[in-house]
Chains A and B, each alone.
Chain A
Amino acid sequence: MRPSRRAFLGGISAAAGALALPALGNAAPLARVKELGVLRVGLYQKNRPWSWEEDGQVMGIDADIARACADALGVKTDLALFPADEEVSDDLRNVVWRGGLLGFRRCDVMMHVPFDRQFAAQETEVVILAPYYRESFTAACANDAATDCEGVPTQFRGKRLAAEIDSIPDFYLVGSFGGILRPDVGHYTTGYEAVSALGEGKADIAVATRAQVESAMAGNKANGGADIVPRQGPLPAMLSPGWDIGIAVREDSRSLGFRLEDLIHGMAESGQLKDIFARHGVEWRNALALQPNT
């Protein structure tokens, strides 16, 4: 599995393949992290269940994976929450390879970067690696007799619909099916809040990522909210089939990237990753790029 993945990576990132690496002297970034004793990790702010701040603490699946990596390297973490820019491409520039215009110091690694061959080919300043989860969009519903969560979306007409603003779930509900659902869509700042609205009795049906649905359901249960049920079947005409999530390091930091990739995939094999996800109510799903049949 691993050799073929490396071959894939060699294909999607610019120059050196795995074989040429030691000769390039690229050990420096990894050695530097160890010497300084700190791994600076870029995390999206307000991105529950992946990364968010609560009572001054950085929480989330991505934060926990970053901490586990730092532990294994024997260094501390410097978790930098950053605001999302217009697209991930901008985030990579701000967080990984250039830094912010106003002094935001670039990070050694950024979590939660889409692991996608075409996308990576456009992003020549960074290396994207260590796919650690398969994400996709789904729906969840308030558990009442009047709402058929498995129905075709055109039947959602007249229900209170919820989605994160300016996201694919938003475009899906507002733009699909001839726009008939448009007047019914309520917009939320995050997918997690959209799903939580079901438990608070503010919405009937929410569309969000699977991780947002599962974590918000767990959070809702803990808070004693109204019952939420996940949709079992796929959403027809959904605009995205799903995507893998990985990490990104700067193009000149492959040594660090490969070390982190080894650590993260070690966590996948040992079950540690599964445990981290479970702590946030999310079932870990292996990245498609790492599944045997692909």
Chain B
Amino acid sequence: MKRRFTHIMAALAAAGSALAVPAMAEGPTTADIMNDANTPGDVISYGMGPWQQRFSTLDKLNSTNVSKLVPAFAASLGGEKQRGQESQPIVYDGTIYVTGSYSRVFAFDAKTGEKKWEYNARLPDGIMPCCDVVNRGAAIHGDKIIFATLDARLIALNRENGKVIWNKKIGDYQAGYSATAAPIIVKDMVITGNSGGEFGIVGAVEARNVDTGELVWHRPTIEGHMGTLNGQDNGITGKTNATWEGDLWKTGGGATWLGGTYDPGTNLVYFGTGNPAPWNSHLRPGDNLYTSSTLAIDADTGKIKWHYQTTPHDGWDFDGVNEFIPFDAKMGGKNMKLGAKADRNGFFYVLDRTNGKLMGAHKFVMQTTWADSIDLKTGRPNFTEGGRPGAPSGAEKGEVVFSSPSFLGGKNWMPMAYSQDTELFYIPSNDWGMDIWNEPIAYKKGAAYLGAGFTIKPIAEDHIGALRAMDPKTGKIVWEYKNPAPLWGGVLATRGNLVFTGTPEGYLKAFDAKTGQELWKFQTGSGVVGSPVTWEQDGEQYVAVMSGWGGAVPLWGGEVAKTFKEISQGGMLWVFKLNN
């Protein structure tokens, strides 16, 4: 009897899985990924939907019961590679996929936390990445998990077993290219940016066939460079020498190191571009397009539809890579298709996402010394006189200019979230400035050089980090949470009136989305610099985040370093649910 019962159970289980598996075995399609924001049972894109609003419609976990949130399990990334976990988990078909620092991918069982497989990219010896060894996340499509490596390759793994399906070089690491951003999936293409610290690189956005990794289109971000579509020339970017002199455009910078977002409605991908090169802005008069900008690129053709430059003629190393997040709202009595970007330069920009027209620009940090406002008519900053670091003379230490935000930005890489309920953006920001001067005693490649000296310093007594709730329509900061150490992790908002973010001090924290009241925190054992996600599984709501201090901040130091000198490194995935 007992035996027979077992058989029946086995048969039922088999039947159940036979029914469930085929649907999942194919893996998520582009349509599924486009619909990610509406399917709370999984997380199948970076940012939880193509707009990357990082908003979940789940409300089982909410501001009234979040105090009962407890760990379900934790999983280690193991080994000696315990630093810099900036990844966002992907959750699909009972598996949590995370990328780790040092170009690794892990698959964990979403119920138990047991490791299913691990992939370690083999990195070349001579590689020295400029800004730590992080990776920000993977993309999932069909049978594949796709991620980028520190030696500038894009690798597609079989999501069931971690075996390589294809592996493509997307840049020459020996020429200084690297890759750390999460790829995005658009129309069966995988779209990536590029990154590199070394002088001489040129930013680009590229689309590849998701099944083969073959290049579909390539769009350089600096004017004068030729784009391609299906192997054919596809027009140059901008107009050669319009905003650059001489041949400086050939090595103009503008790396797209943070990846991009996509709006299915306009069929545009939005990528932010990095700062221009060389660092000394006096050597490159002009706006230096399209550096420190947001580019809207047609997803089918790779042509630039519009651009908006947040920092023309960037002389502060501000960069403009920050995510541009589409959202719909009523502005001036009209339903508008908008997008928002909290820039390194300290201003929060709202643009019409169909044409790039500036609708609003507001400070989201305590202080901006380089410009006091943005001209809404021209879309250009009103620069502050004397706010630009001087030209180096080579003779003596130049005048010290205080500049705020520091070059690490009012907001760095860490993504903000938008709640469709409160209609607020939640911005992980930092209040810090820098002293910057010309450094006559500088050397590069063993030769004399004209460098810049700088010291980053806090500008407030009680905090550097500040999570701010910004009303995009008015620019009003509705609430703020101040944190002693700089914030360096992503944000998650939910229908349960909750906002989650991590702190370098090791906490994952939950706040009331309307008031900013801190409702819950949990100590993960190392700094949290990853992006949290939430999903529903077996009728319960889960929250997951990576813990592992690292990223660019600990590489700098100065006065700021005092706020995190006691923080240990780590490498753990933490998963939480309600203690019922």
Chain A residues engaging chain B, CB cutoff 8 angstroms? 44-45, 47, 50, 81-89, 91, 94, 100-104, 112-114, 116, 118-119, 122, 135, 137, 165-168, 170-171, 174-175, 179, 182-187, 189, 209, 239-240, 242-243, 245
A94-B446 Cα distance, complex, nearest whole Å: 14
CB pair B128 A82 closer than 8 Å: yes
CB pair B285 A179 closer than 8 Å: yes
CB pair B283 A47 closer than 8 Å: no
CB pair B449 A85 closer than 8 Å: no
CB pair A44 B445 closer than 8 Å: yes
B502 to chain A, nearest CB (A): 22
CB pair B448 A240 closer than 8 Å: yes
B86 to chain A, nearest CB (A): 15
CB pair A104 B447 closer than 8 Å: no
Please name all residues of chain B whose beta carbon is closer than 8 Å to the beta carbon of A101 when the two chains form the complex. 128-129, 132-133
B443 nearest in chain A by CB position: A88
B142 at the interface (CB under 8 A from A): no
- A102 touching B450 in the complex, CB below 8 Å, given contacts A82-B126, A171-B280: no
Please name all residues of chain B whose beta carbon is closer than 8 Å to the beta carbon of A245 when the two chains form the complex. 446
CB pair B126 A187 closer than 8 Å: no
A44 to chain B, nearest CB (A): 6
B320 to chain A, nearest CB (A): 20
B250 nearest in chain A by CB position: A187
Q: A209-B447, A239-B450 are in contact. List 5 more A-B contacts (CB 8 A).
A: A103-B125, A114-B448, A166-B444, A171-B280, A174-B283
A278 to chain B, nearest CB (A): 21
A84-B174 Cα distance, complex, nearest whole Å: 11
Give me 9 A-to-B residue pairs in the complex whose CB atoms sit less than 8 angstroms apart, sorted by A's number.
A50-B446, A100-B127, A104-B125, A166-B199, A166-B200, A167-B445, A239-B393, A239-B394, A243-B447
- Residue from B277, B394, B446 within 8 A of A166 (CB atoms): B277
A92-B366 Cα distance, complex, nearest whole Å: 37
Interface residues of chain B: helix, strand, loop or mixed (majority): loop
The 7 closest A-B pairs by CB, nearest first: A239-B394, A112-B446, A240-B448, A88-B443, A166-B199, A84-B445, A114-B443
A103-B79 Cα distance, complex, nearest whole Å: 14
B286 to chain A, nearest CB (A): 11
CB pair B199 A165 closer than 8 Å: yes
- Residue from A81, A112, A187 within 8 A of B251 (CB atoms): A187
Please name all residues of chain B whose beta carbon is closer than 8 Å to the beta carbon of A112 when the two chains form the complex. 446
Please name all residues of chain B whose beta carbon is closer than 8 Å to the beta carbon of A81 when the two chains form the complex. 126
B192 to chain A, nearest CB (A): 21
A161 nearest in chain B by CB position: B246
B167 to chain A, nearest CB (A): 18
- A168 touching B394 in the complex, CB below 8 Å, given contacts A83-B174, A102-B129, A183-B246: yes
CB pair A168 B446 closer than 8 Å: no
B80 to chain A, nearest CB (A): 10
A184 nearest in chain B by CB position: B246
B271 at the interface (CB under 8 A from A): no
A87 to chain B, nearest CB (A): 5
A174 nearest in chain B by CB position: B283
B130 at the interface (CB under 8 A from A): yes
